[in-house]
Structure 1
Amino acid sequence: MASRRTDSAPPPPAADPVAALDRIAYLLERDQAPTYRVKAFRTASAVVAGLDPDELRRRVERHTLGELKGIGPKTADVIEQAHAGGVPGYLADLEARPSPVPTDGAALLAAQRGDCHMHSDWSDGGSPIELMARTARDLGHEWVVLTDHSPRLTVARGLTAERLRAQLDVVAEIAAELAPFRLLTGIECDILDDGSLDQEPELLDRLDVVVASVHSKLRMDEPAMTRRLLAAVRNPRVNVLGHCTGRLIQGKQRPESAFDADAVFAACAESDTAVEINCRPERSDPPSRLLRRALAAGVFLSIDTDAHAPGQLDWQGYGCARAQACDVPADRVITTWPVRRLVAWTGASR
């Protein structure tokens, strides 16, 4: 039986410039480094990947890499050191740092087979679909679900019905290339004010997994928010309730949305809708007191990274640590399931 790697995969790259730059970007993403810093290494990687090997060699020998748009002094040093066959000093320093991801939930993390919530550059993610999927595979997952945003979330370049249809064709091609690893189709669908879903029902029926989340009017009064969430989780097209309180506990903080948690979790249990344990450090949603109430209600849970970059796919340990502290058993977590069980479960609800 395959299981999730617990050694901060993907494994160290071969000593070549593209692999070194990608590994640095991955580690920076995992460690929550500023976006601009990550982008510098992702951009340099793309530039080097597009160079003819002879041109790369000449530029390394002449120290003219900095003349290329997208390569600065630090990335040029990494490229030159990797091209010479060594491990760049900057990469060695990053590898020597302990991972910030907690290990308290190691047993539950080892049981993870997939991730139901990640984003690509089709919406507000920073990397292509294929890179996100390959990273999930290299982490030891058997499957991952692509869940870019729905159209109402324009700030996140949410996918219109037309763009989602186009994405499904792209996903089919990538999935065929990555088999037997499974890249599943999905969406993070906005829950509208009345609890309806922000995408065409016919399209939602075509997807493997639908994550439904609230992204607007999070300060709605408690009765209205409760009705909104109840309508969503009772919708047979919804498989996972995403980051249910909407809170942010780092940076620009945001309080929890007010709703009748016991009523919503009971509806999730009745409707076979999983409650997400969102692994993003700034979300850590739901808080532990609500996680315990969800577990007591008999719901399924989904430990999801909500990753917007490859290195963030390594954040599942955050959610596993919180789940293990709340005594969540692995058999209640859908991300521990084999892919056949997962798609049979989501299909049965429709």
Structure 2
Amino acid sequence: MSIKSLAVPTQLLPGFDRNAVAEGVATEDFPHDPGTLVDMDPVIALRQIAYYKDRARDDPRRVMAYRNAADVIEALTEQQREKHGAANSWQSLPRIGPKTARVIAQAWAGQEPDVLVELRESAEDLGGGDIRAALRGDLHVHSNWSDGSAPIEEMMIAARDLGHEYCALTDHSPRLRVANGLSPERLREQLDVIDEIRELVAPMRILTGIEVDILEDGSLDQEDELLERLDIVVASVHSKLAMDEAAMTRRMLKAVANPHTDVLGHCTGRLVTGGRGVRPESKFDAEKVFGLCRDAGTAVEINSRPERRDPPTRLLTLAMEIGCLFSIDTDSHAPGQLEFLGYGAQRALDAGLEPERIVNTWAVEDLLAWARA
């Protein structure tokens, strides 16, 4: 998807026919491609601004101001919109500030808001070249069911409009309470919700999944029965990151050996920049861990988040030399972050990684056969 034709959640577009779009059929009222901006609707404008700000790694609180404003305007009746539009009284509404009110007023008048024009024109290519072009999907994505900022439907529509053939929803597991991790009951409920929206995001395929915590003893933080049901299991360490090298090695080896584990997520846990500060790498015997990843067929994640860049280059090179498979993932928590694939793809390109060793360049049936093996 080119930056100049940024997709938006299609259910917000005027004349949107959920069933027709799910079937790929244009209607008289909706003759446009999914994601095309038909009118400068305030809700669409606000969500596009939020998308671009997420993509540009803006302060999440500023992004949420636009997302919240979109929710407020979306909830108004047409009569209420007409009333506020005529009086230009948008700022009298809850959660609407001066900046979002200006965006709404400009969009209501049929103008493209200044801030949207500026964001679109300043958006940069995130890189990745041929490897980015070869990626068919994303295997590590969060929604507001855990610590993401957007509903499942919005995340999946954005992924579809980016051209993904598949996208795995991988919200957190129960032990990670700070991220609102999903209990077994909530995960079962989420699986039902995914089934309800599959047609909406067709032809893209939603893959069921989880980012499951690797507990201190190396076990996985979710019921085996549920892990067995999921398409993709990303296993990551989120706690006690500073434990000693021998203990961390045992912990990671046990997780990689678990038959449910498909992807080893952000293996060092480091943070190199960003609002959460800097965090050093966890210490573990990388040769042993990557050797078992190779033997078990577990992919090593190239986490595309700019604040992670995990694994570090020396460990990425080591995993390549050992013969591992890889998965380039965004670990996205908002729609605009789905474009972070370019960052991870660029790292793989710079390292000389062959595309065929990246599991999310594979067709979905090949990917699922690998995950089930």
2:66 to 15, 38, 41: 41
Distance apart, 1:179 and its partner CA? 2.3
Q: Match of 2:321?
A: 296
Equivalent position amino acid for 1:222 in 2:
E
SS in 1 for 2:139: coil
**2:26 corresponds to:** none
Listed one character per residue, the Cα deviations across residues 29-83 of structure 1 (whole Å, up to 9, x for unaligned) are 0111111110110011111111112221221120111111021111111111112
Which deviates more from structure 2 when the two are superposed, residues 272-281 or residues 69-78? 69-78
Q: CA deviation at 1:18?
A: 1.0
CA separation of 1:6 and 1:61: change in aligned 2, threshold 3 A = closer
Following superposition, the deviation at residue 330 of structure 1 comes to 0.7
CA distance in 1, matches of 2:134, 2:207: 19
CA distance in 1, matches of 2:60, 2:360: 28
Distance of 1:76 and 1:30 partners within structure 2: 22
Alignment of 1:55-204 (within 5 A): 55-99=80-124, 102-103=126-127, 105-204=128-227
- Asked whether the equivalents of residues 6 and 109 of structure 1 are also in contact (C-alpha less than 8 Å), the reply is no
Tell whether 2:318 aligns with 1:318. Answer: no
| 8 Å contact from structure 1 (residues 279, 304) kept in 2 | yes
The separation in 2 between residues aligned to 1:143 and 1:345, in whole angstroms, is: 15
Return closer, same or farther for 1:184/1:313 CA change in 2, 3 Å cut-off. Answer: same
* SS of alignment partner, residue 145 of structure 1: strand
Q: Deviations over 1:91-122 (max 9, x none)?
A: 111111132x532x211111111000010011
Task: Report deviation, 1:6.
Answer: 5.4
Q: What is the DSSP-based 3-state SS (H/G/I as helix, E as strand, rest coil) of the residue aligned with 1:85? A: coil
Map 1:159-308 onto structure 2 (within 5 A). 159-251=182-274, 252-308=277-333
Alignment of 1:317-336 (within 5 A): 317-336=342-361
Q: For the aligned residues, what is the CA RMSD?
A: 1.2
Q: What SS does the aligned partner of 1:134 have? A: helix
Counterpart Cα distance in 2 of 1:120 and 1:270 = 32
Post-superposition offset of 1:16: 1.3
Contact 1:143 1:339 in 2 (8 A): yes
Is contact 1:13–1:23 with CA below 8 Å preserved after alignment?
no
Question: Contact between 1:243 and 1:278, CA under 8 Å: does it hold in 2?
Answer: yes
Do the aligned residues in 1 keep the contact of 2:3 with 2:120 (CA within 8 Å)? no
TM-score by length of 2: 0.89
The question of whether the paired residues in 2 share the 8 Å contact of 1:232 and 1:238 is answered with yes
Q: Distance in 2 between matches of 1:260 and 1:91?
A: 47
Identity fraction in percent = 54
Greater mean alpha carbon deviation, residues 56-65 or residues 283-292 = 56-65
Q: Which runs of 5 or more residues in structure 1 are unaligned?
A: none
Distance 1:164 1:84 in 2: 43
User: How far is 1:12 from its partner?
Assistant: 6.5
**Aligned residue type for 1:118:** V
Contact 1:13/1:20 (<8 A) preserved: no
| Cα deviation 1:130-181 (Å, max 9, x = unaligned) | 0000001111101100000000000001011111111111111111332221
